[in-house]
């Protein structure tokens, strides 16, 4: 199972936004500069996070995006589903029904067992993501949440420990 790079970028966007003083909006250009990624690609990720209510977008002169939810309410599963979608990892193409073999019933049974294994693995994976929040990720770090003015930092006026 492989996740898109967007998953990692989405997590880091939320980490960066969690530093922003008073949850003030941060422009996508600032975020893309901090992450050294394409602004147009990052805007797609931001849109996905806004669509599910993790981030909020403010469209005005001083606008940008900011964290809408409490950090303890943002699970890795929320982020995963925003970026990767809510579909199943494993797509059953029903190949077991097409195979030409002597004992088709046995083959179909083994195919269904295989599907069950992937389904159980997916459920366990998603449960781990559901139980880990952004608050868990940020706990114990050197930077207090919502304590830095990222615009000043970008202008070199604010130093991070």
CATH fit for domain 5-86+133-154, picks 3.40.50.920, 2.130.10.10, 1.10.10.10, 1.10.357.10: 1.10.10.10
pLDDT digits (tens, 9 = 90+) for 28-69: 999 999 999 999 999 999 999 999 999 999 988 888 999 999
Asked if residues 13 and 5 have their Cβ atoms less than 8 Å apart, the reply is no
pLDDT digits (tens, 9 = 90+) for 9-25: 999 999 999 999 999 99
Residue in 117, 65, 128, 64 with CA at minimum distance from that of residue 92: 117
Give pTM, 2 decimals.
0.85
Domain extent listing, the chain: 5-86+133-154
Neighbours of 78 (CB within 10 A): 21
């Amino acid at each position: 199972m492989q996740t898109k790079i967007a998953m990692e970028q989405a997590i880091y966007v939320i980490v960066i936004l969690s530093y922003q003083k008073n949850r003030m909006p941060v422009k996508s250009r600032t975020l893309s500069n901090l992450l050294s990624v394409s602004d147009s690609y990052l805007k797609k990720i931001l849109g996905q996070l806004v669509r599910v209510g993790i981030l909020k977008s403010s469209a005005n002169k001083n606008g940008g995006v900011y964290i809408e939810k409490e950090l303890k309410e943002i699970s890795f599963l929320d982020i995963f589903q925003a970026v990767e979608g809510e579909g199943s990892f494993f797509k059953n193409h029903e190949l077991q029904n097409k195979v030409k073999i002597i004992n088709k019933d046995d083959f179909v049974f083994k195919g269904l067992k295989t599907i069950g294994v992937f389904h159980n693995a997916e459920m366990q994976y998603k449960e781990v993501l559901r139980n880990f929040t952004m608050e868990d990720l940020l706990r114990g770090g050197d930077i207090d949440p919502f304590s830095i003015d990222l615009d000043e930092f970008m202008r070199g006026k604010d130093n991070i420990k």
